[in-house]
Each structure stands twice: as C-alpha cells, then as structure tokens.
Amino acid sequence: MARDETIEVPLERAYRDRTIVILLAELGLRGAELLRNRNDADREGLRWNDVDLEELEPNVQEDDIVETTQAHLQIAVPTPDGPVGHSPHTLMRDDVFEDVDDGRGTAFGTQTHEFAEQYVLEGDVEPSNDDERHIKSFIDSLDGELRVEEDAYLPLTVDGEQVTISGIVDLVHIRPETVEIIDFKTDFGWHAEDEYRKQLSVYYHVLNEWFSGREVTAGIFYIAQGVRVDIDPLSKADLIALIGQEQRPEASVVE
C-alpha cells in the first residue's frame, strides 16, 4: 500500500520516476521487478511502493489556433544563386519620366508609402493631407488580410543564364478566393502606366506561383486622384525578352 506522508524529492526526479512507473504499467510490464534495486529500502527519493498505479485517461484538447495566411506563408522566394540581378525599375524607360514637370519627388513618395505601411500595421495614424486621406479610404475599403512592403523575387532564365528580378510589393490584399496586388503611385497622370505594368508583372508572377489556387490581380492606386486602375500583366516570355534587351549591348554597325 502506498505511503501517505510527503517525501521531499526534486520535482524533476519525481516526474521522472512516476513517468517510468506509469509507462511500464501501461505496457503490461512488471516494472517493480524489472527495475527494483535490492537496496531499495535504503534508496533516497521515490520508491516503487510509494506510487499508486492508476488508470490514466489522456486529456487531449485541441489547441485554439486560428490559422492565417500570414502564419504559414512566406511571399518572398529565396534568391537563387546567379551572377545577374535586376529590379523591376531597370526594365522601365527613363525618358518617360524625364519629360514630367509636375512630379512631387521621391521624398513625397517615401512619405506616402510610409503612411500606408504605418496605417496598415498600426491603424491609429491620422492622415495629414488629401493624398493620405485617399490612402486611408482605400485601405478601409479592403476586407481581407493585408500585407505591406513584401519582398518579391522572380527567377528567370535569359539566354541560358539565371537572372533574378527583385522588388518590394507595396500592398497585398489576400482573400479566400483572390489575391490583389496594389502599387501606390504619386503621379498626377497616367503617362507612365506602360512602364509600371512591367513592375507589377514581376510581382504578379511571384504571387501567382504562391497562390496558385486563387485568382491574382494587379493594379495601381493613383494617390492624388484616389483611383485604382487594373493592370494586365505581361507574360514571363515578355519579361525575359525585356531583360534580354537590357543585358545585350547595342549591336555595332559593321560597314
């Protein structure tokens, strides 16, 4: 019969000894005989006859875990080893932007992007101008999971060479059936839309691979006007052709 008094032993040893006894009992082994020491009476700590063997019912409870896309999804594709890397901006024509006189500069663009990121992550940021109010109103209209400033890498093979195009996606709107790519632009006009199409096409192919079971779309949100414009992505073959043109030196004319 088990002893009633309390035996002072380290907690770790008590758990260990009790676990051994219960395991052997559940396996149908005579643990007291197998592991009994003939000097057991003089042994310090818990002894075999100090333990009540009882039938234990495992208490298995389902964890209260809410699975989200963010918990198991990494949008960024690991950059493959390769000698050549591009950003989507290297595919764009610079002359399209050179003739624009009403641009507001990179500092303003950085400020608005930072507001969008902070508003998505914290939600308690007050807009300070019309552009930020447009961003807030647009973000408030989205009812899915939002991811901001996500790194994206698109590996391609160009002329037998491994090439990677890398960039940062401003906003990803994830819903059960759809994934929406949004790029914020501070332009007053639509003059550079064809060039931005190249940029969003890169992001489209990265996310289209990750979310193969959902419809992926891409669009530009023109902050000044508060307008979203859908973009028809270029194919991978088109992107490869653009990179090939960028990498090849201009052919010299031989007379």
pLDDT beyond 50 at 214:
yes
pLDDT confidence of residue 115: 93
pLDDT at 227 over 60: yes
* pLDDT score for 204: 96
| Residues near 46 by beta carbon (within 8 Å), at least 6 away in sequence | 7, 9, 13, 14, 17, 18
For the chain, give the mean pLDDT: 74
DSSP 85: E
- Quick one: pLDDT at residue 188? 78
Domain annotation for the chain: domains and CATH numbers: 1-60 (no CATH), 69-247 (3.90.320)
Select the highest-mean-pLDDT range: 34-48, 146-160, 166-180: 166-180
How do residues 45-82 score in pLDDT, each as one tens digit? 555 565 555 554 544 444 443 444 443 344 444 445 55
Task: For 103-153, write each residue's pLDDT tens digit.
Answer: 566 787 788 999 999 999 998 899 999 999 999 999 999 999 999 999 888
Helix (H, G, I), strand (E, B) or coil at 49: helix
CA angle 107, 112, 118 (to 5 degrees): 125
